[in-house]
């Protein structure tokens, strides 16, 4: 597999026939960030379906799970938490401690669970993916592509339709407090009912989405967004175009590319994450503005053909030298 870059890539797939409507850098190596939790959720649903886990089953919280970096549910060593609350915590708050609890509950250790994740990835045809942990917290070995993430997103809905409603959860009550989700686009895009957000400094802002219009379902993935708002606007455009059976111009994907926020003297990773999550979504995401159109024309360097490889900007085409301990969203 190639070196993961903090560039930008996107794919849109029609669930009816598997047709790829738009694909820009779909096989470019990237870091999944919290989209890795979709595989943790896949294995969780598989275990519940097989009867080896129950949604109301209480799992122990280890010191290893409790020590995970934010975002988290602030679980403490020695506590227990239900499988269902772990599922809801992963989907809404992208809780890294909850993901680790499930990993240890199923695999004994997180490292063994990661072996299970990678084995399942191969079974699903995710040939360019390697998971390094259950949460997607920064690791230079954590690698995927937009195409592989679309395969995983579709598998979650096809293999476990009885649990797909969890992905539309926007908030839930946990031990007397309201836990709100990060997927702001679900509040704004009609028909969107999942799936998962992701963010680390190295990965940029990632999003896997699915939406239904007139009985037709699309799946779309964006990796390497510069900000949450530009990522969300691109996702909305991809879905809009997809429902109209149109390709989204490659240059629109290119211009949302991210560079890692790791330079000394800049705001901390924790602050950058908090600011990103607090950024209000822009008004209706459906159509690009005049400024977007001007920017697209001025930065158009790519062909519009399917599966085109779009050159990343100089600031984003470099190897990610360090992923540090940036939080995962």
- The residues assigned a catalytic role are 34, 37, 94
In total, the chain counts a number of residues equal to 329
Name every residue whose Cβ is closer than 8 Å to that of residue 169 and which is 6 or more positions away in sequence: 88, 91, 92, 181
> What is the four-CA torsion angle of 107, 221, 304, 26, rounded to 10 degrees?
0
How many other C-beta atoms can be found within 10 angstroms of the C-beta atom of residue 215? Answer: 6
Q: How far is CA 309 from CA 203, 297, 301, in A?
A: 18, 18, 11
Strand duo 216-225 + 20-24: pairing: unpaired
CA atoms within 13 A on the CB side of 74: 4
C-alpha–C-alpha distance, residues 120 and 194, integer Å: 21
* Alpha helices in the chain, H assignment, sequence order: 37-50, 63-66, 83-92, 96-107, 110-123, 146-159, 228-243, 250-254, 269-278, 290-298
117-151 b/e (C-beta count within 10 Å ≥ 16 → b):
bbebbeebebebbbbbbbbbbbbeebbbbbbbbbb
β partners of residue 308: 24
Give 140's DSSP letter.
T
Could you write out the DSSP letters of every residue in 263-325? -TTS--HHHHHHHHHHPPPPS--SS--HHHHHHHHHT--S--STTBPPPPPTTTSSB----TT
Tokens 């990796």 -> residue: 223
């Amino acid at each position: 597999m190639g070196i993961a870059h903090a560039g930008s890539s996107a794919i849109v797939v029609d669930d009816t026939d598997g047709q790829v409507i738009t694909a820009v850098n779909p096989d470019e190596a990237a870091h999944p960030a919290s989209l890795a939790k979709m595989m943790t959720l896949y294995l969780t649903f598989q275990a519940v379906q097989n009867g080896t886990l129950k949604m109301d089953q209480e799992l122990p919280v280890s010191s290893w799970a409790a020590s995970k970096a934010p975002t988290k549910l602030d679980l403490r060593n020695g506590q227990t938490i239900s499988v269902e609350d772990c599922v809801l915590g992963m989907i809404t708050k992208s809780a890294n401690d909850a993901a680790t609890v499930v990993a240890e509950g199923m695999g004994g250790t997180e490292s063994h669970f990661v072996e299970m994740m990678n084995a399942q990835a191969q079974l699903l045809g995710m040939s360019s993916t390697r998971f390094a942990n259950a949460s997607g917290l920064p690791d230079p070995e954590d690698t995927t592509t937009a195409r592989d993430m679309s395969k995983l997103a579709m598998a979650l809905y096809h293999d476990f339709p009885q649990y797909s409603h969890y992905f539309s959860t926007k908030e839930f009550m946990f031990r007397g407090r309201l836990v709100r989700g990060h997927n702001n686009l679900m509040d704004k895009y009609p028909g969107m009912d999942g799936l998962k957000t992701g963010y680390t400094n190295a990965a940029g802002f990632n999003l896997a989405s699915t939406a239904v219009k007139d009985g037709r379902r699309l799946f779309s993935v964006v990796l390497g967004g510069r900000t949450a708002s530009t990522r969300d606007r691109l996702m909305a455009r991809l879905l809009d175009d997809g429902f109209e059976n149109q390709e989204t111009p490659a240059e629109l994907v290119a211009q949302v590319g991210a560079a890692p926020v790791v330079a000394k003297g800049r705001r901390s990773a924790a602050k950058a994450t908090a600011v990103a999550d607090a950024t209000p979504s822009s008004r209706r995401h459906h159509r690009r503005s005049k400024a977007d159109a001007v920017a697209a024309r001025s930065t158009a360097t790519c062909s519009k053909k399917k599966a085109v490889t779009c050159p990343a900007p100089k600031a984003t085409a470099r190897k990610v030298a360090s992923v540090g301990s940036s939080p995962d969203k």
